[in-house]
Structure 1
Amino acid sequence: MSNDIAKLLLRLSVGVMMLFHGLDKIINGIDGVKHLLVSAGAPQFLAYGVYVGEVVIPIFIILGVYVRAASVILGLNMVAAIFLAYGGALFSLGKHGAPVFELPFLYLMMSVIIFMLGSGKYALNSK
């Protein structure tokens, strides 16, 4: 029972916190993401994928729907975020001593853990 509660807490933590990032993009737009993509030589329209990765996918993770597939998409979203936003300064340290890519890396690792563990008992399609 405690393993399933731990899976639920992990899913809720990752999903809710990532959803805040998505809501920020809905409210303030995705011009920054567009700029990063164009600077990297990628087409600007790919920026709209951030809505999938930061709004739709977190909802899937929160509800426990297709959690393994959703966690793979979230992980890929975080890999893209790390390299687009921090690629040139990947090994730089922030003002508190942690790598500058600390937050997206934590989301990446948590999405890997969710993939490995699955959704648990407390999910709409539990596995």
Structure 2
Amino acid sequence: MMNDIAKLILRLTLGIMMLFHGLDKIINGIKGVKHLVVNAGLPEFFAYGVYVGEVVLPLLIIIGLYARVASVILAFNMIMAIFLAYHSSIFELGKHGAPVIELPFLYFIISVVVFLLGSGKYAVNSK
């Protein structure tokens, strides 16, 4: 039972915190993401994938509907975010001593952990 509660807390934390990023994109648009995508030499329409990665996937993870699949896709989304936003500074430290990729890297790791652990008992399609 405690393992299932821990899985729920992990899923809720990942999903809710990522959803804040998605809501920001809904409210303020994705101009910055488009700029990063185009500068990387990718087609501009790839930027719209941020809505999937930061709105749809977090909602699936929160409710526990195909959370493993959603978390793998979210992990890929975080790898792309690191590549696009920090490709030239991956190993740099920020002004407070932490790596500049700290936040997307944490989301990446938590996504991998959700994939490995699964949804738990408290999910729409629990296993």
What TM-score range do you get, normalising by the shorter chain?
over 0.9
CA–CA separation in structure 2 for the residues paired with 1:96 and 1:2: 35
Q: Which amino acid aligns with 1:5?
A: I
Structure-1 residue corresponding to 2:95: 95
Q: Aligned with 2:88: secondary structure?
A: helix
Aligned residue for 1:61? 61
Gaps (5+ residues) in structure 2? none
Alignment of 1:99-118 (within 5 A): 99-118=99-118
Question: Under a length normalisation based on structure 2, what TM-score does the superposition of the two structures give?
Answer: 0.99
Q: What are structure 1's unaligned runs of at least 5 residues?
A: none
The code of the aligned residue for 2:115 comes to F
Number of residues of Structure 1 aligned to a counterpart in Structure 2:
127
Q: Equivalences for 1:3-14 in 2 at 5 Å? A: 3-14=3-14
Cα deviation, residue 70, structure 1: 0.2
**1:15-26 mapped onto 2 (5 Å cutoff):** 15-26=15-26
Runs of 4+ in 1 over 6 A off after TM superposition: none
The alignment-based identity, stated in percent, is 72
| TM-score, with length taken from structure 1 | 0.99
Measure the CA separation in 2 of the matches of 1:109 and 1:82: 13
Q: How many Å separate the matches in 2 of 1:90 and 1:21?
A: 21
3-state SS in 2 of match to 1:88: coil
